[in-house]
Structure 1
């Protein structure tokens, strides 16, 4: 079967690109190894319950943000959206509960109450201003990172003087910023910042540059949403849009090889083969490079590949609970002594909405729990039960989940994540931020500078769904511009 464009994987970056390319009238095919679309931003069904696969929060519908851009470009509607009045609560090691309000003034007042008044206003005013500018410039400069003269020409056309204010932030870390505001000795605040950065930028303040770090810290200051039925109902409207434009989604098709041909590419899968003029890979760069037999391409891309030692995996739990009224759905618990076996210092839990009866029967609800594990390939977990017990005990101590509320529980290690998603090492969240890699040194969307492109969380890492959505926008635009479609 021949296509204009084949997309490898149906993660949200791929689906974003597929929607924009199918809108142009191209014949689009999507190859997905699983039986559900959406990759790490979807839901799966088990024993009648719908659990989130990876991501649990939805951000990106505010002005100048990628998800809003996608919906406006396509006219896609998201049913069952519920705006969260409070995006999250954080439980500090000293027992204090921090409420992460969306409204900036309300959040600053809370930060001053918890961490002291010194420089909190100045720090958060600056971070929020940078984050808004980052998202606005990201959509203005859709040829970034640059790798051709055409990119530079497009960048010049999209240049606005205000974009220059972001440049210094690429050379400073979040640790530098905390020092600038004399917050580097505030241990309670430093611990808070580090654990918040870990769940959004996949790294700590010593490594994360200010551009990514400020943006990551401020995601609760934007509109956060819950989707009835889970994030599968973010993915399905995009799938439907693509299908209505003639696209085809092939499930159970794990790609095993990519070979350049006279008129494009030959793609082999676990069930057959396909041909296409162009490719967009939405799977991690580690997985993508393994599909090519081209040694020169391997050598050229090797500098962009992160080994397991520089990545994070996750230990996850999916709970079925007796329903309890909850005003706040997302919580992060900081653990001063760390979890046994893996030593993770925080856990993140997301509950299904009280009014959403589509993910669990009446009187019940589901919850998703995750915690980071560094170097997933080098961390084989033999004692899952110890970790599970420690997490349940921490949730009970915080009065979030009591043992008698738990109807069922299942947990998964990075090995299980790798088995089900096929992501290299079972890594989650994309490539972490490292200070030695400047934004313009990240991998461009072009894979081979012929007809193969890349999107997903190893292109625009961190920042969740909104980041991978941006990566799909950029990949589609570069393909269209390069090929003059």
Structure 2
């Protein structure tokens, strides 16, 4: 079957690009190996309960942010519940820290817990940087540059506030903490490191100021809950695609992409498809294996990261009774001595909304728990029970659950993530930020400067729904500018 554009994988980057291209009248097909859309931002059913696959928090709907741009461009509407309190953090010294959505409230809370020294100027600086980063990211959709046309388009869109961001690419978050006299505040550095892991997948000595400030401030923008789970995002875009003549084909696991004179042949077990253009929405490591064109492989090879520089995840899916009393949905729990087997010093907990009856029964809630597993190809978790007990024990001690209320529990290692998502090494969260990889050195959207493109959490700008949404916007923009 002939298409204008085939997208590999139905992660949110692919779906964002697909929606924008379908809006322009292109015949679009998304090939997805699973039976649900959304990739690592989706929901699956088990034993009558709906659990999140990966991502559990939704941001990006504020002015000058990618998801807001996507919805405004397409007219897609989402049924959302805004969270009055984005998160609470259970610190290693036993204190409970509330990440308020209002900047002034948050600064007062940070000063209460960490001391007044340096907190106000640090957070004001971070918030200002994060606002400028999001605004600039949509103004400069040709970034990172890979041809002269990109440079010309960027020059036309240059604004003074954009230039002020450049020094931040050369400074790390460790430099920022030093600047504000905060590096010797161990409680604060522990907090910053574990918060950066959630969104930047790395620690303060590696994450540059631009990404780090933006990562730390995501709770200061609108945070939302999707009734029914994150799959609601993908379903809304799927409906839009159908309305525009596009489609998502499930159980289509792509195993080869061949470059042709007039486009590409995309092969999977269900058959082969012809297309003028192709967009890979899967990680670069997996994209590399799909292309038979040695020129594409050669261009991709310098961008690939090995397992030792990536993270996998240990996750738990729990159904609880009698959990309605917990009002804040998202919690980061510090583990001072680290978790057994993997050494992680925190884990992230997300509850379903107490008013959401579509994911669990009356007086029941589902819970998603995740923690990082470094170098997932090298670390084999033999005894999941030991990890489960360590996490459940910590949660019970903090009043986040009672073991007797558990109705269902399942856990998964990076090996399960390989099976579910087909992502190399069972990688989650995309490529971590590293200080020796500047934003302009990250992989841009073009694969072969002919008709193949890439988006997702391993290319610029990186992790999270809002980040991969931006990558999809950029891929669609460059394809349209190059060829349409």
- Same fold flag (TM > 0.5): yes
The answer to whether the Cα contact below 8 Å between 1:429 and 1:461 also exists between their aligned partners in 2 is no
The answer to whether the Cα contact below 8 Å between 1:281 and 1:454 also exists between their aligned partners in 2 is yes
Pairing 1:225–2:224 present: yes
Q: Which residue of 2 aligns with 1:201?
A: 200
The answer to whether the Cα contact below 8 Å between 1:456 and 1:468 also exists between their aligned partners in 2 is yes
The answer to whether the Cα contact below 8 Å between 1:90 and 1:97 also exists between their aligned partners in 2 is yes
Find the residue that maps to 1:418 and give its secondary structure.
helix
The answer to whether the Cα contact below 8 Å between 1:202 and 1:462 also exists between their aligned partners in 2 is no
Q: Which residue of 1 aligns with 2:235?
A: 236
Q: Which residue of 1 aligns with 2:68?
A: 68
The answer to whether the Cα contact below 8 Å between 1:323 and 1:354 also exists between their aligned partners in 2 is no
Find the residue that maps to 1:58 and give its secondary structure.
coil
Q: Which residue of 2 aligns with 1:182?
A: 181
User: Cα distance, 1:268 vs. partner?
Assistant: 0.4
Pairing 1:481–2:481 present: yes
String of CA shifts for 1:105-128, please: whole Å, max 9, x gaps: 000000000000001000000000
- Where structure 1 has 5 or more consecutive residues not aligned to the other structure, the ranges are none
Within 1, Cα distance between the matches of 2:463 and 2:455?
A: 14
Find the residue that maps to 1:277 and give its secondary structure.
strand
- Where structure 2 has 5 or more consecutive residues not aligned to the other structure, the ranges are none
Within 2, Cα distance between the matches of 1:69 and 1:248?
A: 22
The answer to whether the Cα contact below 8 Å between 1:432 and 1:461 also exists between their aligned partners in 2 is no
Distance 1:462 1:321, change over 3 A: farther
Find the residue that maps to 1:377 and give its secondary structure.
coil
Q: Which residue of 1 aligns with 2:112?
A: 113
Q: Which residue of 2 aligns with 1:282?
A: 281
User: Cα distance, 1:296 vs. partner?
Assistant: 2.8
| RMSD (Å) for aligned C-alpha atoms | 0.7
Within 1, Cα distance between the matches of 2:113 and 2:164?
A: 30
Q: Which residue of 2 aligns with 1:354?
A: 354
Q: Which residue of 2 aligns with 1:398?
A: 398
Within a 5 Å distance, the mapping from 1:45-194 to structure 2 comes to: 45-79=45-79, 81-194=80-193
User: Cα distance, 1:460 vs. partner?
Assistant: 3.0
Find the residue that maps to 2:106 and give its secondary structure.
helix
The answer to whether the Cα contact below 8 Å between 1:431 and 1:461 also exists between their aligned partners in 2 is no
User: Cα distance, 1:468 vs. partner?
Assistant: 0.4
Pairing 1:365–2:351 present: no
The answer to whether the Cα contact below 8 Å between 2:145 and 2:444 also exists between their aligned partners in 1 is yes
The answer to whether the Cα contact below 8 Å between 1:258 and 1:268 also exists between their aligned partners in 2 is yes
The answer to whether the Cα contact below 8 Å between 1:87 and 1:224 also exists between their aligned partners in 2 is yes
String of CA shifts for 1:235-261, please: whole Å, max 9, x gaps: 111110011000021100000000011
The answer to whether the Cα contact below 8 Å between 2:207 and 2:434 also exists between their aligned partners in 1 is yes
String of CA shifts for 1:426-470, please: whole Å, max 9, x gaps: 000000000000000000100111100000001135441000000
Distance 1:341 1:461, change over 3 A: farther
After TM superposition, the score normalised by the length of structure 2 is 0.99
Find the residue that maps to 2:138 and give its secondary structure.
helix
Find the residue that maps to 1:215 and give its secondary structure.
helix
Within 2, Cα distance between the matches of 1:462 and 1:315?
A: 21
Q: Which residue of 1 aligns with 2:420?
A: 420
Q: Which residue of 2 aligns with 1:387?
A: 387
Within 1, Cα distance between the matches of 2:476 and 2:461?
A: 17
Within 2, Cα distance between the matches of 1:71 and 1:2?
A: 28
Q: Which residue of 2 aligns with 1:34?
A: 34
The answer to whether the Cα contact below 8 Å between 1:430 and 1:461 also exists between their aligned partners in 2 is no
Within 2, Cα distance between the matches of 1:397 and 1:447?
A: 50
Q: Which residue of 2 aligns with 1:13?
A: 13
String of CA shifts for 1:56-93, please: whole Å, max 9, x gaps: 000010000000000000000002x1110000000001
